[in-house]
Amino acid sequence: MVKSKTETIQAISDNVAVGEKTILLTLFKTIFHLSFVVHFLWAGVYGTWTMFTLTEEQLREPMIAMMKNYSPCYVTIWNASFQTMFLGLALLHDMLRWLDKHESKIGRKVKYFRDVIFNGLVFPFTCFVTGMFWCVYLIDRELVFPQVYDQIVPWWLNHCVHTNIFIVIAIETLLTRRRQPTDVKVERCLWVFVSVFYAVVYYSIYFFGGCWLYGVFGVMTWWQVCIYQACIWGSTWVFYNLNFFVNRMIHKEADSSPKTSTNGDLESRETTFQNTSKVSGVATVSKNKDVELNAKDGMNENGKTNAAYLNENNDENGKEWTSIGKDGQLDKSGTNFKRNQSSL
């Protein structure tokens, strides 16, 4: 009895600590997402206002005129739009969590699109934009960001769309587990569409407009352009897969936790118990937060029912397993088990 009370007190203390940690994490996420939503919206408004207020003298410079004419076509602008969209969905999900509505149908939908956009668009293209821009910039800035742009693009705006974007995905990776794709087909379709469509955009500008959107293409021969294009596609594909590898490296403790799969309408976690000398079966955590275990045999080799064994070896939440029959009464065979897992 003393041992049982001690375990109960410990379980309550652990649950309180976990609850406080969750609240602090949610608060930090909310502040983080809100701050960067405002940051990118302000950058977008400022950049748009700058393009519409250019003077005639500034427009006499061919590079500045080209930037104004093709400003919506730069991958930097596309990527900033992806980040703003993702941060907006993340902030909305944070608000739903504060209202305890994140497990509702709309909450699961918001989470689904938030994670799909992050995995398929934000992470791979942010890594590409930051890496490509600063590498070429350090070699010869005229090939990617001519010095004449400094007349209209302040240094903070440059860092906002080429540096701060990487800070966003770095912090987001530390805060949120995305160890596996949320929806592989959708994420890959998004990646393919943006990669191919964007190539069509800047090649069309060259063939129909007579200028390269990026000066780095202008110093290459056509076979070098083809190789460079293959590197662009290859690098973004590598970055897409790198997202999950890095997340697994950071969130190693998740290896022993149940796996989570999300399809937008249903979230389930499955844990397989395999121990031939004691109990075997599959426990499924469903939306009503009840855990049901269907064991293959009612008794283990020690002569105890599986329910009794599970009660002796209950989980960290201290929940008690009960052997029940189909009619809700105790099942002597110990075949069916059910417990209330309110903490999940």
Look-up: residue for tokens 């329910």?
Answer: 307
What residues contact residue 115 under an 8 Å CB cut-off, 6+ apart? 178, 182, 262
Distance CA 156, CA 161 (A): 9
Residue 8 pLDDT level (bands cut at 50, 70, 90): low
Residues 6+ apart with CB under 8 A from 324: 330, 331, 336, 337, 338
Q: Are 296 and 281 in contact (CB under 8 A)?
A: yes
pLDDT value at position 254? 47
- For residue 304, pLDDT over 90 is answered with no
Q: In what order do the strands lie in the sheet with 259-262?
A: 259-262, 267-275, 279-285, 290-294, 336-340, 322-323
Check whether 103 has a pLDDT greater than 50.
Answer: yes
Tens digit of pLDDT for each residue in 223-277? 999 999 999 999 999 999 999 999 999 988 644 443 444 443 333 333 333 333 3
Average pLDDT for 286-297? 39
Is 80 exceeded by the pLDDT of residue 43? yes
* Sign of the four-CA dihedral 154, 160, 164, 166: negative
What pairs with residue 269 in β-bridges? 260, 285
φ, ψ of residue 294 to 5 degrees: the values are -105, 105
Among residues 131, 117, 133, the alpha carbon closest in space to that of 84 is found at 117
- Please state whether 112 falls in left (phi above 0), alpha (psi between -120 and 50) or beta: alpha
Q: What is the pLDDT of residue 188?
A: 96
CA 282/CA 270 separation, integer angstroms: 7
Positive or negative, the CA dihedral 313, 319, 325, 329 is positive
Please compute, for residue 73, the number of CA atoms within 13 A of its CA located in the half-sphere on the CB side.
19
Is the per-residue pLDDT at 283 higher than 60?
no
Strands (E), the chain: 259-262, 267-275, 279-285, 290-294, 322-323, 336-340
Q: How confident is the model at residue 13 (pLDDT cuts 50, 70, 90)?
A: low
Residue 117's Cα: distance from chain center in Å? 8
pTM given for the model: 0.70
Residues 159-166: what's their mean pLDDT? 95
More confident residue, 125 or 314: 125
Q: How far is CA 2 from CA 6, 313, 327, in A?
A: 6, 17, 34
pLDDT at residue 212 greater than cutoff 90: yes
* Stretch (H or E) spanning 161: helix 155-162
320 vs 174, higher pLDDT: 174
